[in-house]
Amino acid sequence: MKPIFTKPKVGKPADPSKPWFVWFRYDNKLKRYKLGINYIKDLKEREREANALADALWQKLKDDWNPNIPNITKEDPEVLFEDAINFALLKKKSSLKPKSFADYSCTGRFIIKAGISLKYKDAPIKKIKRQHIKSILAEAKEKQNWSNKAYNKHLNQLKAILSELLEWNILNNNPAHKIKRLPVDETIANTPATPAQHKIIKEFLETKHPEFFVFIITIFHTGARPEEILNIKNEMINIRTQEIILPGSITKTKKDRIIPINNHLLRYFEKMNLHKYPKQYYVFGSFRQPGTGFRDQQKDFIPGPTKIKRDTATKRWNRLIKSESGLNINVSMYSNKHAGADAKILSGMDLDVLRELYGHKSKLMTETYAKVVKEQYRKQIRENSPEF
């Protein structure tokens, strides 16, 4: 759909102390540009320059210029707060999965809305300091009724958005840097099964649902996200070198990642006889055909030409493990990733090694898996503290 825009006009406030600007509407959104005209003291000369700017912007609009993607580095030395946030989001889009980009865009909208509420809409982004960002976050938290956990999530995403402006030399430093996260209670949403529950789940799946069992232990051993695992094709598996080569097109970070296949997981992959299947088959796929049901084998989570949806895996887990008709054990499928992290940490694996395996960009993300270490410390204090 072609954008709708009005012809740029010169805005001359009645109050001579206020700045002039050239304005127009683009897709019903007001756009204003100054570009140095207010440095001209002679009002007749300023008017000539303002009209020339309006003519230039009009020509650019007719040449399919999109002001929502400003050529910031060359044409707009005084980048305004809202334009800068939108610019950063557009530049960050190529490095994010659609769902992640939607999350970042949501953060951007909340931050812009809070900034406008605090009268920062027309403030140059270079004049936005850490105290302003803290005020904006506080405003957004109050207006959106964020929990401390939600605040921390949006803070992290805002830091990443503003970092994009560093890459484009629009900012010299990140004003959200060193803003402290708010305290949150530890969540039990992805708490792993107890040892007794784990044993029941393992025996049940391995005996009754062996194909799904291999999918679950792949989450446990590799730490890969279920969506990433469901995207693994046969050509990405190298049994000889014991590696899974994940291309950036299927990873959350959009970067290639190599995941080692440990000896425990290798035994199950070898039993799958992957060398007998076409390279383009999904390792945990099926022979389902949209609209017609199964073709050939009526199984899921086997080498096959059809990709299984993430929701299908979750529903399978919930039906077999969480429901009353199944094992009635209330743990999430994703908790197997946490269980694998706990087991690796307790076996002596360093957090940096775990970060590399899980593809985390920062130690902060990996440290969320280190709760088991803290509990071990508490246990040692309770049981091994000397008497007074």
Q: What is the pLDDT of residue 374?
A: 61
Q: Which bin fits 296, alpha (ψ -120 to 50), beta or left (φ > 0)?
A: left
Q: What is the pLDDT of residue 70?
A: 57
Q: What is the pLDDT of residue 93?
A: 82
The reported pTM is 0.56
- Please check whether residue 132 lies inside any domain of the structure: yes
What is the rounded (10 degree) CA torsion for 119, 66, 172, 168?
160
- Please check whether residue 384 lies inside any domain of the structure: no
Rounded Cα distance between 79 and 170, Å, is 8
Tokens describing residue 156: 């992290």
Q: Are residues 142 and 291 in the same domain?
A: no
- Please check whether residue 346 lies inside any domain of the structure: yes
Q: Are residues 265 and 216 in the same domain?
A: yes
Compute the C-alpha angle 302/193/283, nearest 5°.
15
Q: Are residues 73 and 127 in the same domain?
A: yes
**Alpha-carbon distances, residue 168 vs 31, 72, 74, 85, 177 (angstroms):** 22, 9, 11, 12, 17
Q: Are residues 218 and 309 in the same domain?
A: yes
- Please check whether residue 64 lies inside any domain of the structure: yes
Q: What is the pLDDT of residue 367?
A: 57
Is-contact 61 5, C-beta < 8 A? yes
Q: Are residues 212 and 149 in the same domain?
A: no
- Please check whether residue 216 lies inside any domain of the structure: yes
Tokens describing residue 9: 């006009």
Q: What is the pLDDT of residue 75?
A: 46
Identify which of 93, 91, 87 has the alpha carbon closest to the alpha carbon of residue 69: 87
Q: What is the pLDDT of residue 291?
A: 64
Q: Are residues 250 and 335 in the same domain?
A: yes
pLDDT tens, residue by residue, 306-324: 999 999 999 999 999 999 8
Rounded Cα distance between 190 and 336, Å, is 8
Is-contact 35 76, C-beta < 8 A? yes
Burial class from Cβ neighbours inside 10 Å (0-12, 13-18, 19+) for residue 33 reads buried
Domain boundary among 151, 167, 183: 167
Rounded Cα distance between 73 and 56, Å, is 18
Question: How many domains in the chain?
Answer: 2
Q: Are residues 163 and 303 in the same domain?
A: no
Q: Are residues 19 and 132 in the same domain?
A: yes
- Please check whether residue 115 lies inside any domain of the structure: yes
- Please check whether residue 356 lies inside any domain of the structure: yes
In the predicted model, residues of the chain with pLDDT beneath 50 are 73-76
Q: Please give the residue range of the domain that contains residue 280.
A: 195-377
Tokens describing residue 211: 């194909």
Q: Are residues 364 and 249 in the same domain?
A: yes
Distance of CA 183 to the CA centre of its chain: 21
- Please check whether residue 128 lies inside any domain of the structure: yes
Q: What is the pLDDT of residue 132?
A: 95
Q: Which domain CATH number covers 267?
A: 1.10.443.10
Domain boundary among 150, 167, 184: 167
Q: What is the pLDDT of residue 368?
A: 59
Q: What is the pLDDT of residue 323?
A: 93
Q: Are residues 44 and 117 in the same domain?
A: yes
Q: Are residues 28 and 149 in the same domain?
A: yes
Q: Are residues 275 and 342 in the same domain?
A: yes
Is-contact 97 63, C-beta < 8 A? no
